A and B are shown apart, each in its own frame.
Chain A
Amino acid sequence: MALKKIEAIIRTEKLEEVRIALEEKGIIGMTVTEVKGRGSQKGILLEWRAGEYRVEFLPKLKLELVVDQTDAEKVIEAIETAAQTGKTGDGKIFISAVEDVVRVRTGERGKAAL
């Protein structure tokens, strides 16, 4: 049993495209969180009454999915393709190993709980 957790920080407006791309690959379950963050480009300037003010953290979405290792690459590829604009601020994908999963309703463990 090898499970991977995929955390993707994406542009808020790309959520539906990513969701559709994952669904096409048979990946249904995921958790989405509204987050704020910044990359090396730092924040952005917004218009004030006159002049501007700086916002240091930008609103993004964080997707979390736990999948079987064999599905990990296609999930990563689907997110990468669907979420990409080619401009600064497209986000990042983090992949890590997961020890176990429990389905709360039944108590099933591991792959069966996904």
Chain B
Amino acid sequence: MINTGDTAWILISTALVILMTPALAFFYGGMVRKKNILSTLMLSLAILAMISVQWVLYGYTLSFGPDRGGLIGGLDWLGLIGVGQDPNAGYAATIPHLAFMMFQMAFAIITPALITGAFVERINFPGFLMFILLWSTFIYAPVCHWVWGIGGWLRAMGALDFAGGTVVHITAGVSALAVAMVVGKRKGYKKVPMEPSNIPFTVLGAFLLWFGWFGFNGGSALTSGGLATSAFVVTNTAAASAALTWMLVSWIHKRPSVLGLSTGAVVGLVAITPASGFVSPLSALAIGCIAALISYYAILIRMRTNLDDSLDVFACHGMGGITGALCTGLFAEKAINSAGANGWFFGNPGQFYIQLITVLVVAIFSFLVSFVLAKIIDAVFSLRARSEEEEVGLDISQHVETAYSA
């Protein structure tokens, strides 16, 4: 039966999560060069439009439709036929099925948008659109079904992923690594300076992400009671802990950087995502701190390599998601969520192994399929802008627009 409080909270949460994609657009847009800022915004915003349509047509049913062999959803709900105002008791018994579908749509949108940070400033727009459409079909839909779909095999194995550490951040972060390899580094990478166009945009984007994340994690309770509140509290706590940790580490290095604090906040939010419905505020403090340290050094290590994952999607989302998923296997408590499980620190080491297997399976699957998809699309449509298009900037060459006059 529909509960109006639950429904209100899920609709609000959905709007909050939808806001995160434009927030991400600005988070990324601020860090690229002036000539590519519109292009970078466009990548996220085109995904917002395209996946909204894809999800209604077939994305939702592939992800959450009646199970086929634990691997994928059936096509029973193509075009949302049969997805109506009555609840689907299996997913969320107290809100309209349409509300659950819409909440999940917001996740399906932001996940591929996260990947865009890996190939900004050089991507060929048509190839990009094709890649994202196939990525959402062949990676997001199956992994989402495995972990969250009723009958999904990882869900059946007992994997815990409250709000998408695995489904969202590991898939996106690891795929980013694969696509960055296929697309190759930007012209002049490490030879010419690449000055960020607008750090305040990045900071604004980061803190709008923080705001939207209350819907991301709090809404994942799918009800509006104690569990949503608990997720809300640990979300803020982990973000704060990671932001503070990152600020201190950058201070030890030289100065407390605003960009560092903002990046730290996002990494903390990533890491708490899978754990947010299962852990206490004190565990959230630890998870934020651990994740910040791991991702900070992951960026430094990546910068020493020749791999141009331009906005460190792997270091922030891939490593953040892995840290979060594994920490869920350490810090989860049935006292917080009776529908969850205890982690290693609460007497159940088995949960850690379940998390570890889930991480490995999803990471390997995402990497391999992304790599193959990217290679095929690169061969057919080209994933890379032509050399002179990249030089003049993608704003003018792909979109015939400029962000700033003069």
Contacts from A to B (Cβ < 8 Å): 43, 47-56
Chain B contacts of A54 at CB under 8 A? 193
Of B193, B194, B255, B300, the contact of A50 (CB 8 Å cutoff): B300
List the 6 shortest-distance A-B pairs measured between CB atoms, nearest first: A47-B257, A50-B299, A49-B263, A50-B296, A50-B300, A56-B193
Residue positions of B touching A, CB distance < 8 A: 193-196, 249-250, 253-255, 257, 259-260, 263, 296-297, 299-300, 303, 312
B193 touches A51 (CB 8 A): no
Q: Which of B195, B259, B297, B300 sits near A47, CB closer than 8 Å?
A: B259
- Pick from B195, B297, B312: contact of A55, CB below 8 A: B195
State which of A47, A53, A56 has its C-beta within 8 Å of the C-beta of B254.
A47
* Complex CA–CA separation, A48 to B300 (angstroms): 10
Q: A49 to B19, alpha carbons, bound, how many Å?
A: 23
The answer to whether A53 touches B299 (Cβ under 8 A) is no
Query: Which residue of A43, A48, A55, A56 is within 8 Å of B259 (Cβ)?
Result: A48
CA–CA, A52 and B195, complex, Å:
11
20 CB contacts below 8 A, A to B, read A43-B193, A47-B254, A47-B260, A49-B257, A49-B259, A49-B260, A49-B312, A50-B296, A50-B297, A50-B299, A50-B300, A51-B253, A51-B299, A51-B300, A51-B303, A53-B195, A53-B196, A54-B193, A55-B195, A56-B193
| 13 other A-B residue contacts (CB within 8 Å) besides A53-B193, A53-B196 | A43-B193, A48-B259, A49-B259, A49-B312, A50-B249, A50-B250, A50-B253, A50-B296, A50-B299, A50-B300, A51-B300, A55-B193, A55-B195
Residue of A nearest to B263 (CB): A49
Q: How far is the CB of A52 from chain B (nearest CB, A)?
A: 8
B302 nearest CB neighbor, chain A only: A50
The answer for the CA separation of A53 and B303 in the assembled complex, in Å, is 10
A53 to B195, CA, bound (A): 8
Residue of B nearest to A49 (CB): B263
Question: Contact between A47 and B193 (Cβ–Cβ < 8 Å)?
Answer: no
State the CA gap A104–B309 with chains docked (Å).
Answer: 55
Nearest B residue to A56, CB-CB: B193
Residues of A within 8 A of B254 (CB): 47, 52
B194 touches A53 (CB 8 A): yes
Q: How far is the CA of A54 from the CA of B190 in the complex (A)?
A: 10
Chain B's closest residue to A48 (CB) is: B259
Bound CA span A86–B299, Å:
37
Give the chain A neighbours of B250 by CB distance below 8 A. 47, 50
Using CB atoms, name the residue of chain A closest to B311: A49
B299 touching A49, Cβ below 8 Å: yes
The CA of A54 and the CA of B191, in the complex, are separated in Å by 10
Bound-state Cα–Cα, A53 to B255, Å: 14
In the assembly, what is the distance between CA of A43 and CA of B195, in Å?
A: 12
Separation in Å of the B51 CB from the closest CB of chain A?
27
Closest Cβ–Cβ distance, residue B294 to chain A (whole Å): 11
Min CB distance B24 to A, Å, is 15
**Bound state CA distance, A51 and B190, in angstroms?**
14
A57 nearest in chain B by CB position: B193
Q: How far is the CA of A53 from the CA of B260 in the complex (A)?
A: 13
For the complex formed, measure the closest distance between the CB of B242 and the CB atoms of chain A, giving whole angstroms. 13
How far apart are the CA atoms of A47 and B259 in the complex, in Å? Answer: 8
CB distance from B84 to the nearest CB of A (A): 45
Alpha-carbon gap, A50 to B261, bound state (A): 10
Bound CA–CA A87/B126 (angstroms): 51
A49–B300 Cα distance when bound, in Å, is 9
**Least CB distance, B327 to chain A, in whole angstroms:** 21
CB distance from A51 to the nearest CB of B (A): 5
A55 to B253, CA, bound (A): 18
Q: Compute how far the CA of A50 lies from the CA of B254 in the bound complex, rounded to whole angstroms.
A: 10
Q: Which residue of A lies closest to B256 (CB)?
A: A47
Residue in A43, A49, A50, A51 with the greatest tally of chain B CB atoms within 10 Å: A49
B299 CB contacts on chain A under 8 angstroms = 49-51
C-alpha gap A56/B193 in the complex (Å): 7
Q: What chain A residues lie within 8 Å of B253 (beta carbons)?
A: 47, 50-51
When C-beta atoms are compared, the residue in chain B nearest to A52 turns out to be B254
Chain A residue at minimal CB-CB distance from B303: A51
A95 to B192, CA, bound (A): 33
B298's closest neighbor in chain A, by CB? A50
Interface centre among A48, A50, A55 (most CB of B within 10 A): A50
Q: How far is the CB of B16 from chain A (nearest CB, A)?
A: 25
A49 to B253, CA, bound (A): 11
Write out the residue numbers on chain A whose beta carbons fall within 8 Å of the beta carbon of B259: 47-49
List, in ascending order, chain A residues with CB within 8 A of B194's CB.
53
CB proximity of A37 to chain B, nearest CB, Å: 14
Alpha-carbon separation in the docked complex, A51 to B257 (Å): 10
